[in-house]
Chains A and B, each alone.
Chain A
Amino acid sequence: MTTTDTRLAGVTGDQAGPRTAARPGRPGSRLARARTGLHTLVFLAPMLVVFGVFSWVPIGRAVVMSFQRTNLVADPVFVGFANFEQVFADPLLWTAIQNTGYFALLALLFGYPIPLVAAILMSEVRKMRGLFSALAYLPVVVPPVVAVLLWRLFYDAGEDGVFNTILGWFGAAPVAWLQDADIVMPSLVLEATWAAAGGTVIIYLAALIGVDPSLYEAAEIDGAGVWRKLWHITLPQLRGVLLITFILQIIGTAQVFLEPFLFTDGGPANRTLTLLLLIYRYAFTNSLGGDYGAAAALSLMLAVVLAGFSMLYFRLTRHWSS
């Protein structure tokens, strides 16, 4: 069994329930059956406890909390939709939605075509494909906090900043990468793309290598050239993977936190305030004590939207792999 097999199995996401093979014959006596049940429970216990306490119950609690006023001192009180009304009345909500949408859009513009072109070129590399892959993937393994702090130095607005020095070689004027309200978001997305593109390249590369060569051979018999094969065979064959990376990117960028938090803390003038940053501020930076209700309400709304995308992702991976 190779790791490739597990990868496929993992991506497909189907067959979640007990599978086809016949149930093992169990000893007939009631005592033996009770003992088997006990052993099973021992094996299930860590999962039940950990998922119960740290996943199932908190998820339920998130829903309840969004209808409650919660603080750490008094008992929670049900307040109906007051938390939702409060969130919708916050002018920063619309700023955050716009900014998050803008981040997602730019991330698609930067991060969607570049990995695809790179992967198509790489799929034709004969020697040293491993070197190409390793170089492309290296930024993905750099700890994200290190990457952001490093890029913050690169983005130094002075003439001696790293990127501005490079611009200077071409006679361009220095850019205020993180201070200019119109440039700050593209700057953030550039770093985020650098940090994530390698993973997408590897996904595309695996899909490209999996394209059945007989399709190309058939097209060649019909006299198709390289570009026509690319357009009529390669890209249609990648359709599923392209849609999956699209959905994953939407889910990921809608929850972007690290870049706006560490680069600019939402600034300048709230131009990089994203939804997750707003949730974080509701809950954890309020000097009057956390407004957990508002944070839960906004999280819940975001989650409902994203769960739709997750569901679509699940259906697609299941559909295309079978």
Chain B
Amino acid sequence: MAAVKSTTDRGLLAPTDRRRASVRWSTRLSHGLLLAILAVAGLGPMLWLAKAAVTPTQDTLRNPMALWPGGIDLANLAEAWTRVEIDKYFFNTIALAAGSWAVQLLVAATGGYALAVLRPRLGRYLSGAILATLFVPSVVLLVPLYLTILDPPVLGTSMLNTFWAVWLPAGANAFNVLLMQRFFANLPREIFEAARVDGAGPYRLFWSIVLPMSRPVIGVVSVFAVIASWKDFLWPMLVLPDPALQPLSVRLPALQQFVELDVFLAALAISSLIPIALFLVFQRLFLSSAGLGGAVKG
């Protein structure tokens, strides 16, 4: 890490500033105001959704901002889950996220290990070729990747309407590979040498030494993989035209046309549950790696 680190825990305001009454009150006021705005803007819409999910349609339509609904209709949630078959799309979403996660982790961990630890002769060029894909915006891939799915090499049969059409392209994530590679390269090499002297081969080294030491980076890649998959819309919409296979994100817009509003809102609430729960549990991981999120979009 950078050499210069804070000697004191202070920021813009000096301890002497903080002692002045005017500064103290204006910071307090601005922080209170900010907290109120953040609560309304960040939490407000989700609280509204939570309320609307258990409110009868007519109440939501007639008086959307009522604090307390006229009646509570918990049946919405059950109805969305069973009759509208949200359960099916929910499990599709989970299957897509799990598969994308597995493929991404496999590709990034083995590839990163080979490049950083085994170091093949042309590794430098290979890293360059991986890095180069970061500069290619995802829009370029849309059409040719779609045609690849329709007519994949070797396989001879279309991958349309199979989960593989989402899982495999997800693995081609340069960011994951480079992240893993850099992490592995920074592990102390003496440990590898010691293991080699003790007779560990490349597989043993990977499985018993490198992977167990790499929990932080595996955690980061995993969270990104699951969240990105849960958010994905355009690609699964293109390659999974069969509604029975679609994830929530693709199915929800279509559902709105033939489901009552209250059940639809219950479906929206159910769809947000897992990402929000993941966020609450892994808050630190999310916030400390938020800076990386931008780089993935490119």
Chain A residues with a Cβ under 8 A of chain B: 1-11, 13, 15-19, 21, 23-24, 36-37, 39-41, 43-47, 50-51, 53-59, 61-62, 65, 70, 72, 118, 120-125, 130-147, 149-151, 153-154, 160-162, 165-166, 194, 198-199, 202-203, 206, 208-214, 216-217, 220, 226, 229-230, 233-234, 244-245, 248, 251-252, 255, 257-258, 261-262, 276, 279-280, 283-284, 290, 292, 295-296, 299-300, 302-303, 306-307, 310-311, 313-314
CB-CB under 8 A from A3, the residues of chain B are 216, 219-220, 284-285, 288-289
- Whether A142 contacts B46 in the complex (CB less than 8 A), given A17-B127, A208-B11, A216-B14, comes out as yes
Answer whether residue B42 sits at the interface, using C-beta atoms and an 8 A cutoff.
yes
B252 in contact with A135 (CB, 8 Å): no
Can you list the 9 inter-chain pairs with the closest CB atoms, starting with the nearest? A47-B111, A43-B114, A58-B144, A202-B290, A55-B172, A61-B144, A135-B38, A135-B42, A50-B171
Q: Mark B189-218, 1 if CB is under 8 A from A, else 0.
A: 100110010000111001000000000110
Q: Give the distance in Å from the alpha carbon of A41 to the alpha carbon of B126 in the complex.
A: 12
A199 in contact with B293 (CB, 8 Å): yes
Chain B stretch 247-298: residues in CB contact (< 8 A) with chain A: 248-250, 252-253, 256, 261, 265, 268, 271-272, 275-276, 278-279, 283-295, 297-298
A7 in contact with B253 (CB, 8 Å): no
Chain B stretch 126-185: residues in CB contact (< 8 A) with chain A: 126-131, 133-148, 150, 152-153, 168-169, 171-172, 174-175, 177-179, 181-183, 185
Determine the residue in chain A with the shortest Cβ distance to B115. A18
Determine the residue in chain B with the shortest Cβ distance to A70. B147
14 CB contacts below 8 A, A to B, read A7-B291, A7-B292, A21-B189, A43-B202, A62-B144, A65-B143, A121-B30, A130-B283, A135-B39, A141-B279, A144-B231, A149-B252, A226-B13, A226-B23
CB-CB under 8 A from B186, the residues of chain A are 1, 5, 9
Answer whether residue B70 sits at the interface, using C-beta atoms and an 8 A cutoff.
no
A145 in contact with B147 (CB, 8 Å): no
CB-CB under 8 A from A47, the residues of chain B are 107-108, 110-111, 114, 130, 177
Question: Which one of A11, A41, A279 lies within 8 Å of B142 (CB-CB)?
Answer: A279
- Whether A62 contacts B143 in the complex (CB less than 8 A), given A16-B127, A245-B294, comes out as yes
A54 in contact with B139 (CB, 8 Å): no
Q: Give the distance in Å from the alpha carbon of A58 to the alpha carbon of B149 in the complex.
A: 11
A166 in contact with B291 (CB, 8 Å): no
- Whether A283 contacts B114 in the complex (CB less than 8 A), given A6-B183, A206-B291, comes out as no
Question: Which one of A53, A149, A199 lies within 8 Å of B168 (CB-CB)?
Answer: A53
Determine the residue in chain A with the shortest Cβ distance to B13. A124
- Whether A143 contacts B249 in the complex (CB less than 8 A), given A154-B45, A248-B297, A310-B135, comes out as yes
Say whether chain B's binding surface is mostly helix, strand, loop, or mixed: helix
A143 in contact with B231 (CB, 8 Å): yes
Q: Give the distance in Å from the alpha carbon of A299 to the alpha carbon of B230 in the complex.
A: 25
Answer whether residue B106 sits at the interface, using C-beta atoms and an 8 A cutoff.
yes
CB-CB under 8 A from B35, the residues of chain A are 131-132, 135
Q: Give the distance in Å from the alpha carbon of A118 to the alpha carbon of B42 in the complex.
A: 13
B201 in contact with A138 (CB, 8 Å): no
Determine the residue in chain B with the shortest Cβ distance to A51. B172
CB-CB under 8 A from A233, the residues of chain B are 12
Q: Give the distance in Å from the alpha carbon of A36 to the alpha carbon of B118 in the complex.
A: 8
Q: Give the distance in Å from the alpha carbon of A13 to the alpha carbon of B160 in the complex.
A: 35
Q: Give the distance in Å from the alpha carbon of A165 to the alpha carbon of B61 in the complex.
A: 11
A234 in contact with B12 (CB, 8 Å): yes
Chain B stretch 29-49: residues in CB contact (< 8 A) with chain A: 30-31, 34-35, 38-39, 41-43, 45-46, 48-49
CB-CB under 8 A from A149, the residues of chain B are 252-253, 256, 268
A6 in contact with B220 (CB, 8 Å): yes
A220 in contact with B14 (CB, 8 Å): yes
Question: Which one of B7, B38, B285, B290 lies within 8 Å of A132 (CB-CB)?
Answer: B38
Determine the residue in chain A with the shortest Cβ distance to B134. A310
Question: Which one of B65, B287, B294 lies within 8 Å of A137 (CB-CB)?
Answer: B287
Q: Give the distance in Å from the alpha carbon of A219 to the alpha carbon of B256 in the complex.
A: 58
Query: Shortest Cβ distance from B177 into chain A, in angstroms?
Result: 6
Determine the residue in chain B with the shortest Cβ distance to A297. B143
B216 in contact with A1 (CB, 8 Å): yes
A39 in contact with B272 (CB, 8 Å): no
Question: Which one of B49, B134, B227, B298 lies within 8 Å of A248 (CB-CB)?
Answer: B298
Query: Shortest Cβ distance from A89 into chain B, in angstroms?
Result: 20
- Whether A6 contacts B140 in the complex (CB less than 8 A), given A39-B202, A213-B6, comes out as no
Question: Which one of B30, B63, B189, B293 lies within 8 Å of A160 (CB-CB)?
Answer: B63
B182 in contact with A216 (CB, 8 Å): no
A124 in contact with B289 (CB, 8 Å): no
B27 in contact with A124 (CB, 8 Å): yes
- Whether A44 contacts B216 in the complex (CB less than 8 A), given A6-B179, A300-B140, comes out as no
B172 in contact with A141 (CB, 8 Å): no
Determine the residue in chain A with the shortest Cβ distance to B119. A18
Q: Give the distance in Å from the alpha carbon of A8 to the alpha carbon of B179 in the complex.
A: 10
CB-CB under 8 A from B217, the residues of chain A are 6
B249 in contact with A54 (CB, 8 Å): no
